A and B are shown apart, each in its own frame.
Chain A
Amino acid sequence: MSVQPEGQLIADKEISEVDGITVRLAGDSGDGMQLLGTQLTNTSALLGNDVATFPDFPAEIRAPRGTRAGVSGFQVQFANSEIFTPGDTLDALVVMNPAAMVTNIADLRRGGLLIVNEDGFDAKALKLAALTEDPVTEEIEDRYRVFKVPMTKLTRDAVKELGLGMKEADRCKNFFAMGLVYWLFGRSLEPTLRFIDNKFGKKLPDVAAANEKALRAGWAFGETTETFGITYRVAPAKLKPGTYKNMMGNQALAWGLLAAAKRSGKEVFYSGYPITPASDILHELSRYKHFGTRTFQAEDEISACCAAIGAAFGGAMAVTASSGPGIALKAEAMGLGFILELPLIVINVQRGGPSTGLPTKTEQSDLLQAMFNRNGEAPLPIIAAQSPGDCFDAAQEAWRIAVKFMTPVILLSDGYIANGSEPWKVPDVNEMEPIVVTHPPDAAEGDAPFMPYARDENLARPWAIPGTAGLMHRVGGLEKADGSGNVSYDPDNHQLMTDKRAAKIEGIANDIPAQEVFGEESGDVLVISWGGTYGACHTAIERCQREGLSVSHAHIRYMNPMPANLGDLMRSFRKVLVPELNSGQLRMLLRAKYLVDCIGFNKVKGKPFSVSELMDQIHEIADKTNANGQKVG
């Protein structure tokens, strides 16, 4: 359904047309900031803007109210052109209390809008935020355009006639804030009114009515008071023609798995153990039992992985997912899956580590875990998704490789991708190519003995499943004899099987596309990135190219094996820069494999890269490396 902004309501206020807006909504973790942000995102997407989001919330379910530890934020950028990040600096910041203000104000650009719920700034709130005085100082008012709005009081007034208790009334203040923000940026109320009706209309009509009143009151406040003299408009983005939908990474991943199952004529068996930020994949898939999806919430991580392997042995499309610490527990089972040579997808939605680390913050520091976290020689293919919508494609590619080569495949996502969202072009299911899966048929008495470890041209073994007459065989973790799969301790056989398994995985390089380059195929600087840093890197490089720098971008999707042309590509540039949200894991792999001296740009703060910090870094290297010694850009 398409919607239009309710522009006709704007009477006498100035309207400013801008290319894009980056806004962050911040409040206490009980204030409903995530809901507010999600609604603003959906509404903006429906208006045809390109959107990108970045939720940021505490690890505690409810950190003490009003404290800095309990601040929950949601950032969204909506724009009139294609964007790849939720934005660096904020054009507008909405804060519900002092703690939210002091922890977020540094990201607001000079002259940006600071909208303050002034009712949230009483003495008690200041104390909770560990402040001795009101943070909205004269200096702040000079630096930003500050609007103080008594949101709590206005919300109470708006819902008074419904006779709600004070607590219930106050709970609606996020909808008031939403209404005000919608008015300011010309967003339609319709999608959110529909949301309120769907969520509360039947079950809790009082709550629905109160939320609606608060939302409309927020809008009306902007419209009627003299506080705001200007509103902003962002025109629709020129995206490729088609039907679009706003998608979060974990949802796209789950849908990608459903699509892969459909393409291969399989049903999904998904097993997981709850862990942030992977749990939403389990939640999402649990809703699609009518697709034949079976979900299993296991007793622990290794159980989840083992159950998936059991299902794979039986012929199902088996998937397990976790985050770094859970993947550590699955490692022994992954080694078994590797030697059994069964297809399996193991998803790692990475987060800050080590150990429990920063469970709700993003990082991409499990690449080496994916590469090496198994005993013995056990290489596995690794694919990394690059954006929320891309999770849909990455999941299908993981399954294609898993069945074609009969191997577990590791799929890397991260917290930034998983919880972020972007417009997703709805694919035409009828145009999806099949993923071919074959199981050998029944054998008759007198047929040659079945060889479970015979190999095809891809070095893949047959996927013979229980129930097939005449193909009875035993698999296990002990080394198997070439062909027959019987237990073998023969030294030469172990060498042979180790080599064959490695060659099989290495051979996947011939089955994947060559590494694409954004920009020239040679020059001063090649930036190599992977995973969720795609958006920031792409944007930074595009801007640097526009400034005239000789910089190109290679974003790697296939982490193992890597594309065959990658080494030559790296050698075609004077310098190779590898930005990563870790201490240099891809850089280590690239240097080891290609003997090219890459330069790292590394950050582990639980935060994504900003475009500007990447641009600074690219400039620094380009300046040093320009062939003519000239300053560029």
Chain B
Amino acid sequence: MNLPVLKAADFASDQDIRWCPGCGDYSILAQMKKVLPELGIPREKTVFVSGIGCSSRFPYYMNTYGMHSIHGRAPTFATGLKATRPDLSVWVITGDGDALSIGGNHFIHVLRRNLDINVVLFNNRIYGLTKGQYSPTSEEGQVTKSTPMGSIDHPLNPLSVAIAAEATFVARSLDAHVKHLAETLKRAAAHKGTSLVEVYQNCNVFNDGAMAYAQEKSQRLENTIELEHGKPLIFGTDRDKGIRQVGTQLEVVNLKDVAEDDLLFHDEKAMDPSLHFLLSRMRHPVMPEPIGVFRDVEGVATYDEQINDQVAAAKAKHGEADLNALFNSGDTWEVAS
């Protein structure tokens, strides 16, 4: 059979895109449209499910099936859909407010259940659609419309939460680092189980430059560290610094003083999440922030696979359903005419 070769444009819907000019969302949309044709999954088998927020308008712009749902609940819709339709490729598009605040509960549960879906979390550390209140990832002290004296909430670290929930795939990328983003989305799609990709995404209207330390090309090499499976953690413009583990802590060392072999080597396949959790704790400005795949654990059964396996096993054990047999089971009695 000759399958049509799809291009990025084939995944674009006919709807006008209404994000603010300069929004980081455009870049994520563009990379998604570029990646999807490479996956070889037909458009009609692909479903985007989103919650509420700027990012959650995403499904309208994709020429696939889509559902723009309600605040924070996209993972739950995806659960019902994927559990009954494991043949579909399901993507959840969400933001930091949507996923971590109103949807915090569902975020945890979809990850621990390991439903075979891909979650893309756009993190701009601000509420954009409601015009500029602080979000669960906003820095302490951040002045916003609802925190004129500075936010007193301690920010939530989405990857720490995900790793604590023992998510089987956890990654981070940047809207401005398009190649890295495309590669990360591809890795997420390839993973069997819930994959979470946090994308640092600039909101140039309400929180411009909040993650410039990671986004700006000039600063990125100093302030981020690219994770590679089996490789030592090295960073810096001159690749002259590394990360070493001392007890239960990580520290930045200079490669002049420490041999490469003594650095922490990244193991994304480790079933034990402890080291991945440590990596998720690396925060700017004390440490470079890791980008790439923190964790990609294989062989963990997925929720959709298991719910359908149980149905198959029950059918194998009891035979095909027979309503007559069910209705007449147990104690019955006859009333004669």
Q: Which residues of B contact A47 (CB under 8 A)?
A: 333
Q: Are A303 and B68 in contact (CB under 8 A)?
A: no
- Contact of B13 with A by CB under 8 A: yes
Q: Mark A289-321, 1 if CB is under 8 A from B, else 0.
A: 111111010111011101111111111101000
B108: nearest chain-A partner, CB-CB: A299
Contacts A296-B307, A299-B105, A303-B76 given; indicate if A466 touches B68 (C-beta within 8 A): no
Summarize A's interface: helix, strand, loop or mixed.
Answer: mixed
**Interface flags, A452-493, vs B, CB<8A=1, else 0:** 000000000000001111111111111000000011000000
Report if A45 contacts B (CB, 8 A). yes
Check if B44 is an interface residue, CB within 8 A of chain A: yes
Q: Which residue of B45, B314, B330 contacts A467 across the interface (Cβ within 8 Å)? A: B45
Contact between B337 and A241 (Cβ–Cβ < 8 Å)? yes
A467-524: which have CB < 8 Å to B? 467-478, 486-487
A239 is an interface residue with CB less than 8 A from chain B: yes
- In the complex, A340 Cα to B78 Cα: how many Å? 15
- Which of A258, A302, A310, A336 is B80 in contact with, Cβ under 8 Å? A310
Stretch at the interface among B138-146, B216-224, B319-327: B319-327
Q: How far is the CB of A147 from chain B (nearest CB, A)?
A: 30
Which listed segment binds A: B22-30, B84-92, B236-244, B289-297? B84-92
- Nearest-neighbour CB distance to chain A for B111, whole angstroms, equals 12
Residues in A whose Cβ lies below 8 Å from that of B63: 472
- In this complex, the member of A244, A255, A303, A309 whose beta carbon has the largest number of chain B beta carbons within 10 angstroms is A303
Residues of A within 8 A of B76 (CB): 298, 302-304, 306-307, 310
Residues of B within 8 A of A294 (CB): 83-84, 307-308, 311
Can you list, as one digit per residue, whether each of B12-50 has a CB less than 8 Å from chain A (1) or not (0)? 010100000000000000000000000000111101110
Within 8 A of B (CB), among A194-247: 236, 238-246
Q: How far is the CA of A299 from the CA of B81 in the complex (A)?
A: 16
* Given A299-B106, A310-B76, A473-B65: A333 and B81 interface contact (C-beta under 8 Å): no
* Chain B 269-307 interface mask (CB, 8 Å, partner A; 1/0): 000000000000000000000000000000000000001
Point out the residue from B71, B85, B323, B336 that lies within 8 Å of A466, measured CB to CB.
B85
Chain B residues with CB under 8 A of A310 = 49, 67, 76-82
Task: Report how many residues on chain A are interfacial, defined by Cβ distance under 8 Å.
Answer: 76
Indicate if the CB atoms of A269 and B332 lie closer than 8 Å: no
The answer to the question of B151 belonging to the interface, with a C-beta cut-off of 8 Å to chain A, is no
Cβ-defined contact, B69 with A42, below 8 A: no
B73 an interface residue at 8 Å Cβ cutoff?
A: yes
- Does B66 touch A at the CB level, under 8 Å? yes
Q: What are some 9 contacts across the A-B interface (CB < 8 A)?
A: A242-B334, A243-B335, A245-B332, A258-B321, A290-B317, A293-B311, A306-B69, A311-B84, A486-B15
**Chain A residues in contact with chain B, CB under 8 A?**
1-3, 42, 45-48, 191, 236, 238-246, 255, 258-259, 262, 267, 269, 271, 288-294, 296, 298-300, 302-304, 306-316, 318, 332-333, 336, 340, 426-430, 466-478, 486-487
- What 4 A-B pairs are tightest by C-beta distance, nearest first? A476-B68, A310-B80, A307-B80, A310-B77
- B residues touching A (Cβ–Cβ < 8 Å)? 13, 15, 42-45, 47-49, 52, 59-60, 62-71, 73, 76-85, 87-88, 105-106, 108-109, 307-308, 310-311, 313-315, 317-321, 323-324, 326-328, 330-337
